């Protein structure tokens, strides 16, 4: 649900801004567009580590249940937006940030709950199914977003509500704490320096890729320089704090575990590639290929989602199979093979002309989905298995 929401909003943004009667491409409104895109993602990225630690202390299931409730409440508030113009945009941004808090609670604790619930020899399959749900949700959201945006933009947010209500009730009734709770205090200084530092860096990067003055990029902007330098300084302070407090927010010693460090680095690189590909394919299809083939701009969100279904199909096929096989043969061959296959498809996509043949395009993104599926579950399982139970 959390992953579906991130993609469903991206493809529905034109309809959402039309619904609140605001042109996001005007220079005075660019900030609203950026924060509609970035607010949810920034909050999720910043808080996921913090909420994982809080889950270790107060109970992962409790935090997971709270995430469902917050996410659902924010979805209702988003769908009932009472304002238009700049006020409507601010309402949406604020509640998207609240929704991101719920999403961070869900993401931070879901994998830990699976790790607590399944023995080592079954975790690969469990992680595979979970990763399928997450990644398939992000691509299915493109189709659902295009379909609902064509009907009524408010449905883009309402679609989360029945699933959220069911998930909240189901999690409260069925999930039980099986992991060990830590008798530790919350590292407030670590949380603050990490959160503020990461937010500043992300804001700096976001505005750094925007035009500034007479330049095509904004890396010389005083705001960008201040946020990036200040953010990096706070993150360095965070590392210093974590080495000295009794109960750190994040045990940096975990990065001495080779499987943990390498798995997280590989996961970061894979996420950068997958996110960039998804964003560029949406622009490529909606802005160039579909109009060239006679589709009106009003229909392009739906058809862009449909034409990207092969990547979802490849992931759905490879994810559970490779998760199951990794329980028997180890994670390395599948994670490595998946990354290499994904890299090959990126290289081949670079050589496609703007007016490409869909058969070739569909095959390449299908193979990209297979590569992502081969990588995701085995890599996540290897990371989770490398961490001590406490």
10-residue block means of pLDDT along the chain (390 residues)?
Answer: 70 83 79 82 83 82 89 93 91 93 87 72 65 69 75 86 84 73 76 89 84 81 94 94 84 85 90 84 84 81 83 85 82 91 94 89 95 87 75
Neighbouring-strand partners of residue 212 = 215
From 5, 116, 142, 118, select the one nearest 64 (Cα to Cα).
116
| Phi, psi (deg, nearest 5) at residue 40 | -60, -45
> Which pair of structure tokens corresponds to residue 317?
């096929």
What letter would DSSP give residue 288?
Answer: I
pLDDT at 79: 92
Name the CATH superfamily housing domain 1-185: MFS general substrate transporter like domains (1.20.1250.20)
What pLDDT, on the 0 to 100 scale, is given for residue 232?
A: 96
| pLDDT score at 306 | 84
pLDDT of residue 386: 80
Which of helix, strand or coil describes residue 251?
coil
Q: For residue 215, what are the β-bridge partners? A: 212
Q: What is the CA radius of gyration of the chain?
A: 21
Quick one: three-class SS letters along 206-235?
Answer: HHHCCCECCECCCCCCHHHHHHHHHHHHHH
Looking at residue 48, its pLDDT comes to 84
pLDDT at 126: 67
Write down the domain spans for the chain.
1-185, 187-248, 253-390
pLDDT of res. 312? 83
The Cα 216–Cα 237 span in angstroms is 33
Sign for the CA dihedral angle at 99, 105, 111, 116 comes to negative
Quote the CA–CA distance of 199 and 14 in Å, as a whole number: 26
Statement: the pTM of the whole predicted model exceeds 0.85: no
């Amino acid at each position: 649900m959390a992953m579906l929401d991130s993609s469903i909003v991206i493809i529905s943004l034109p309809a959402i801004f039309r619904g609140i009667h605001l042109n996001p491409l005007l220079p005075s409104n660019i900030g609203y567009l950026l924060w509609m895109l970035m607010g949810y993602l920034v909050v999720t990225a910043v808080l996921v580590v913090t909420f994982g630690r809080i889950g270790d202390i107060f109970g992962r299931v409790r935090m997971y249940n709270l995430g469902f409730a917050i996410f659902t409440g924010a979805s209702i508030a988003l769908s009932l937006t009472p304002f238009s113009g700049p006020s409507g945009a601010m309402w949406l941004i604020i509640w998207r940030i609240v929704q991101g808090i719920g999403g961070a609670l869900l993401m931070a604790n879901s994998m830990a709950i699976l790790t607590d619930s399944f023995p080592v020899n079954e975790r690969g399959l469990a992680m595979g199914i979970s990763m399928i749900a997450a990644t398939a949700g992000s691509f299915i959201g493109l189709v659902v977003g295009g379909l609902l945006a064509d009907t009524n933009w408010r449905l883009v947010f309402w679609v989360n509500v029945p699933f959220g209500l069911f998930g909240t009730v189901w999690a409260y009734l069925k999930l039980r704490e099986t992991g060990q709770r830590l008798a530790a205090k919350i590292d407030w200084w670590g949380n603050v320096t990490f959160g503020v530092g990461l937010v500043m860096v992300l804001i700096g990067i976001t505005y750094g890729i925007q035009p500034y003055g007479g330049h095509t990029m904004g890396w010389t902007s005083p705001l960008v320089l201040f946020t990036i330098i200040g953010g990096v300084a706070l993150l360095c302070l965070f590392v210093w704090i974590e080495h000295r407090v009794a109960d750190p927010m994040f045990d940096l010693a975990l990065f001495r575990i080779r499987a943990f460090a390498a798995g997280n680095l590989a996961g970061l690189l894979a996420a950068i590639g997958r996110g960039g590909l998804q964003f560029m394919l949406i622009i490529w299809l909606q802005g160039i290929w579909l109009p060239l083939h006679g589709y009106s701009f009003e229909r392009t969100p739906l058809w862009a989602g449909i034409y990207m279904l092969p990547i979802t199909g490849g992931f759905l096929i490879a994810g559970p199979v490779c998760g199951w096989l990794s329980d028997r043969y180890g994670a390395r061959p599948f994670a490595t093979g998946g990354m290499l296959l994904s890299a090959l498809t990126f290289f081949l996509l670079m050589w496609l002309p703007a007016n490409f043949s869909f058969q070739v395009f569909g095959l390449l993104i299908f193979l990209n989905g297979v590569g992502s599926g081969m990588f995701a579950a085995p890599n996540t399982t290897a990371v989770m298995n490398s961490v001590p139970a406490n």
